Structure 1
């Protein structure tokens, strides 16, 4: 069954548990992670938790729990749910305190949900999906996986209203990433993606794809690329915990490459599936 967790107790997802003065609710003052479980096994759990701790430190969130503590909590929650293929959403906020911009003297608040995974439908994966471009209107520290996602939400909604799966974000003429994904182009047999800076999230699936590209002897180049280079690419794809490796076949109405998922993205996803099967 799908379930929730808040500060030491498991709860039903429809149970009212959030105090009005919770800092995540009031300020978006917190960080989060989404971890995918395949057949009861977590995908790159340690890497997710390491990023969670880095994000917490970046916003001066005093987390006392260790990676081992979070691992035990997540595994116990998934076992309790009895859901083999699920997404675990783990959130840490600065706690429960009367609304005030200054940090409160309060323990952090930890919440979590375990829900059935909703994989990308096979038809979308086989045909690829469409995207739009959109100005990157987010803050300067997107490497932090914070709760402040309003610009992402607005761009994602704009894409949805235009019948597209994702919005590819542009800053100063260069591609940064998607609203909930890292973005890659394939040109001349090379995978090209934005280098890691404060302006993008260091994706866990991005980390996996870099490794898989090495295994497949496909050059993985980290450099900035323009909107024009995006439109002229042989292939475009995105990665995320929930999308895995997914081809983009049309951007702003312009067909990319052959208009179908290309050889590189197809090989990468096949190799990704082998990685999952080996968990």
Structure 2
């Protein structure tokens, strides 16, 4: 495997960053997880825009290189990959060990890839079975502390939630995702996913503000609007999810993953989830294959 590091393709084993890089020292960096289908990065402009927005939030608005799409294509080509996971990271770069960053930014840009199955119509999902999810005590970091719409390298909040899952995992119970609530106890998101559920025919998902609005989440809302589904974004409790007729998680790699179980209670898939999965596959097929 070859990765792209600061403009050069290098062997994975040699792909490193400086120990004084602020992405390593402080998590002072932005990233995007994308998925390539048939050699085409799906929703690339949306991912690039969110990456640029995160960099602007971090005070480094010019950190994303103009040739980023070319670098991604070079990385896919070098590894002979058409269907792949693609991660793009942009750090503030190497600077002295002071918390306050310099105004001048010489960003570090890293692109990593790995193979994934073909997507689109008649594809097999990357996940192994429907998801088991578990509510955790760790709360979602408030947006007033860390902007919720900034996708940064600092994932300590999610790591702490996943560590809680380790404590409840046993031979008969192995959760796939942790459910995060806000400080007031309202349902927000998974550690790496957004949440949808269907209640009496209405597709519902927590409103943005305290969660990261995912790119796949955007596509699902667009597909539902195209089908004239009743859609609601609002404030919900974990009980709303536990008592739902159907539920699923979304992220770029999983696409739409049905939720089988919430805190030991059965939920499962259904006609709305299955239809949205088919429509998402068709959108990928049309745009990328």
Q: TM-score, normalised by structure 2?
A: 0.88
CA contact (8 A) 2:180 2:187 kept: yes
Deviation string 1:219-242 (CA, Å, 9 cap, x unpaired) is: 221111112211111111110001
Q: 1:1-279 maps to which residues of 2 (within 5 A)?
A: 2-15=1-14, 17-65=16-64, 69-104=67-102, 105-117=104-116, 120-121=125-126, 124=129, 128-134=130-136, 135-140=138-143, 141-159=147-165, 162=169, 163-171=174-182, 172-197=184-209, 199-256=210-267, 260-279=268-287
Q: Which secondary structure does the structure 2 equivalent of 1:278 belong to?
A: helix
CA contact (8 A) 1:235 1:261 kept: yes
Compute the displacement of 1:137 (Å).
4.0
Q: TM-score, normalised by structure 1?
A: 0.91
Q: Which secondary structure does the structure 1 equivalent of 2:47 belong to?
A: helix
Aligned residue pairs total 270
Deviation string 1:192-215 (CA, Å, 9 cap, x unpaired) is: 111121x11111001100111122
In 2, distance between residues paired with 1:182 and 1:16? 31
Q: Unpaired runs of 5+ in structure 2?
A: 118-123
Q: Which secondary structure does the structure 1 equivalent of 2:281 belong to?
A: helix
Deviation string 1:128-164 (CA, Å, 9 cap, x unpaired) is: 2210012324242221001110120221243355201
In 2, distance between residues paired with 1:235 and 1:212? 17
RMSD: 1.8
In 2, distance between residues paired with 1:93 and 1:139? 23
CA contact (8 A) 2:63 2:92 kept: no
In 2, distance between residues paired with 1:244 and 1:63? 30
Compute the displacement of 1:16 (Å).
5.1
CA contact (8 A) 2:55 2:63 kept: no
Compute the displacement of 1:121 (Å).
4.6
Compute the displacement of 1:181 (Å).
0.5
Deviation string 1:254-278 (CA, Å, 9 cap, x unpaired) is: 112xxx3211111110111111110
Deviation string 1:55-108 (CA, Å, 9 cap, x unpaired) is: 110110242546x52222212221222111111111011110221111134411
In 1, distance between residues paired with 2:95 and 2:216? 35
